[in-house]
């Protein structure tokens, strides 16, 4: 049975969570491989909304959730999320959640660094202030704490000393309050007994699952344009969001990944700073934001809105390994007379068909827009392609043509089954 990797094909918030939830019906496991509680994945099931940050989206269906080594795990945030889910009737026990021993920990000191760094930047990045970037910095700096360290209090104390020594020099240099080792240690040791029962060998679980014919959905967080290598650097997150990240971030063999489903809205949004060529400001942008409910799931920040950018989508698909598309939020375009799609760029007066690598060039891009007729009536909740207005079908076909990748699914509302399936990503 094939696995599927679900990744954001734009700047995040494409609807990955609801696509993963839909796929999870026919899967055994859902595994997260990157990011942390900077993610906000929304599921709507029979009118009930679930907002997930760290927990894999299959948890709502009771499917086994794995948190891979590539995730930056804030143990306090995880426990708070588990409690929130319990209040909604979803019990998260070690039978349904396993966390990789080697996942890096996000600590209170990382949140403080994230905030201080944003304050100090001449041009802030607009991070989620969750401490994700600083935690990954410590990971590659080889001073990070890992989930398995929670089981060894003495070693934990020593490692914390090294980590805090490094950061406290910086805090002191800025005239900020240094972190007290004992206080941080006490906090971690108090939390450890609730976290440790979930800890296991995720790579082994995945290997066994694959050998026994079970199916896993790998749930990406963030998106290609926020990838630390392939995104609009430095306005990116600090992890690998592409399909390759699913292998390095869980321990599954790259050859076992299966189909790679890229999720894209039929328009575009971005939250935080950075270039956004097809951005639409003013009233039209406000209308998209309003109709699309484009406000951050966890931070509540208004998302910047614009038209779909097929140059970005085509290039992102190539570098991320996307071979199928899920197009979301078609219903949000109901009622527009004209719909535009960015099909090319102009850079300094010259037409180009790729996204340049430098931030300066990305900021100078002008979109080449193509107009499409809007449609009358509502597409909300439509579940059959033949029920779509002719103009909506034409838009989907044009997107498929421009991007050069087959469309697997189109969603027409936030509810679990508000979707048209054209070809299943499972082979
Ligand atoms: P994720 O981070 O990629 O999982 O996406 P988010 O959950 O951050 O944002 C997607 C938002 O769009 C959520 O509020 C979803 O409930 C909503 N949504 C998803 N699919 C559709 C759809 O087809 N139509 C509408 N109107 N809303 C949708
Ligand atoms: P999901 O999984 C949208 C953005 C932040 C900021 C940049 C860096 O829900 O799609 P970070 O806190 O990661 O250092 O912030 O990345 N960002 C997201 N934008 N959706 C997300 O996750 C995001 N996670 C991070 O707004 O611009
Ligand atoms: Mg989100």
For every residue of 298-354, DSSP letters joined together read TT-PBPEEEEEEHHHHHHHHHHHT--EEEEE-GGGGTT-SEEEEEEEEEETTEEESS
Q: What is the mean pLDDT of the chain?
A: 97
* Tens of pLDDT, residues 137-179: 999 999 999 999 999 999 999 999 999 999 999 999 999 999 9
Nearest CA to ligand 1 atom 6: 13
Here the CATH number for the domain that contains residue 20 is 3.40.440.10
**Same domain for 309 and 388:** yes
**Same domain for 413 and 290:** yes
**Same domain for 222 and 186:** no
Question: Over pLDDT 90: what percentage of the chain?
Answer: 97
Q: How far is the CA of 38 from the centre of ligand 3 (A)?
A: 8
The reply to whether 78 falls in a domain is yes
β-partners of residue 345 are 352, 367
Best probe residue, ligand 1, of 8, 18, 297, 381 (max atoms within 8 Å of C-beta)? 18
C-alpha count within 13 angstroms, C-beta hemisphere, residue 113: 22
Q: How far is the CA of 39 from the centre of ligand 3 (A)?
A: 5
β-sheet with 407-411: strand ranges across: 199-200, 97-100, 64-67, 29-32, 216-219, 4-8, 259-265, 324-328, 407-411, 419-421
Best probe residue, ligand 2, of 9, 12, 42, 227 (max atoms within 8 Å of C-beta)? 12
In this predicted structure, what is the pLDDT of residue 76? Answer: 97
d(CA 385, CA 309): 23
Q: How far is the CA of 104 from the centre of ligand 3 (A)?
A: 21
* Tens of pLDDT, residues 74-95: 999 999 999 999 999 999 999 9
Is residue 6 a contact partner of residue 321, using CB atoms and an 8 Å limit? no
In this predicted structure, what is the pLDDT of residue 86? Answer: 98
**Same domain for 228 and 93:** yes
Q: How far is the CA of 13 from the centre of ligand 3 (A)?
A: 4
Nearest CA to ligand 2 atom 11: 127
Backbone region of residue 349 per phi and psi (left: phi > 0; alpha: psi in -120 to 50; beta: other values) = left
Domain boundary among 239, 261, 283: 261
What's the total number of domains in the chain? 3
The reply to whether 426 falls in a domain is no
Q: Is 356 in the pocket of ligand 2 (CB under 6 A)?
A: no
d(CA 372, CA 395): 7
Range of the domain at 147: 104-195
**Same domain for 85 and 9:** yes
Is residue 159 a contact partner of residue 150, using CB atoms and an 8 Å limit? no
Task: Decide: residue 140, CB within 10 A, 0-12 exposed, 13-18 middle, 19+ buried.
Answer: exposed
Mean pLDDT of 401-423: 98
The reply to whether 234 falls in a domain is yes
In this predicted structure, what is the pLDDT of residue 299? Answer: 81
Q: Which two tokens stand for residue 184?
A: 């941080």
How many of the other CB atoms lie within 10 Å of CB of 220?
Answer: 34
**Same domain for 343 and 285:** yes
Domain boundary among 195, 213, 246: 195
How many of the other CB atoms lie within 10 Å of CB of 382?
Answer: 22
Q: Is 130 in the pocket of ligand 2 (CB under 6 A)?
A: yes
Is 237 known as a binding-site position? yes
> Given a cut of 80, is residue 1 above it in pLDDT?
no
The reply to whether 273 falls in a domain is yes
**Same domain for 267 and 160:** no
The reply to whether 143 falls in a domain is yes
């Amino acid at each position: 049975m094939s696995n599927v990797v679900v990744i954001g094909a734009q700047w995040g918030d494409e609807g990955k969570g609801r696509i993963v939830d839909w796929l999870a019906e026919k899967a055994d496991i859902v595994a997260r491989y990157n990011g942390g509680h900077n993610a906000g994945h929304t599921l709507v099931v029979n009118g009930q909304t679930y907002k997930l940050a760290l927990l894999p989206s299959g948890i709502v269906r009771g499917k086994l959730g794995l948190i891979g080594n590539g995730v930056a795990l804030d143990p306090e945030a995880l426990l708070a999320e588990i409690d929130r889910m319990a209040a909604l009737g979803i019990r998260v026990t070690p039978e349904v959640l396993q966390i990789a021993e080697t996942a890096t920990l996000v600590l209170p000191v990382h949140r403080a660094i994230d905030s201080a760094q944003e304050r100090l930047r001449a041009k802030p990045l607009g991070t989620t202030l969750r401490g994700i970037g600083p935690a990954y910095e410590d990971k590659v700096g080889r001073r990070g704490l890992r989930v398995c360290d929670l089981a060894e209090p003495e070693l934990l104390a020593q490692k914390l000393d090294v980590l805090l020594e490094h950061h406290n020099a910086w805090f002191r240099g800025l005239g900020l309050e240094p972190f007290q080792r004992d206080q941080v240690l006490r906090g971690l040791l108090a939390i450890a007994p609730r976290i440790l029962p979930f800890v296991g060998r995720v790579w082994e679980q995945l290997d066994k699952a694959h050998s026994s014919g079970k199916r896993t959905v790998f749930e990406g967080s963030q998106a290609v344009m926020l990838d630390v290598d392939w995104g609009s650097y430095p306005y990116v997150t600090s992890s690998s969001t592409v399909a390759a990240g699913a292998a390095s971030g869980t321990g599954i063999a790259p050859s076992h990944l299966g189909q790679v489903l890229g999720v894209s809205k039929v328009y575009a949004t971005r939250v935080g700073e950075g270039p956004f060529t097809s951005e639409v400001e003013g009233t039209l942008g406000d209308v998209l934001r309003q109709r699309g409910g484009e406000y951050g799931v966890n931070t509540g920040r208004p998302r910047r809105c614009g038209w779909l950018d097929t140059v970005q989508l085509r290039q992102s698909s190539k570098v991320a390994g996307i071979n199928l598309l899920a197009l979301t939020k078609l219903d949000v375009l109901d009622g527009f007379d004209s719909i535009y799609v960015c099909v090319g760029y102009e850079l300094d007066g010259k037409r180009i068909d790729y996204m340049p690598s430098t931030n300066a060039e990305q900021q100078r891009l002008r979109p080449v827009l193509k107009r499409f007729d809007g449609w009358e009536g509502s597409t909300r909740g439509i579940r059959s392609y033949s029920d779509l207005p002719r103009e909506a079908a034409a838009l989907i076909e044009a997107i498929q043509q421009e991007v050069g990748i087959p469309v697997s699914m189109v969603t027409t509302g936030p509810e679990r089954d508000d979707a048209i399936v054209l070809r299943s990503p499972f082979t």
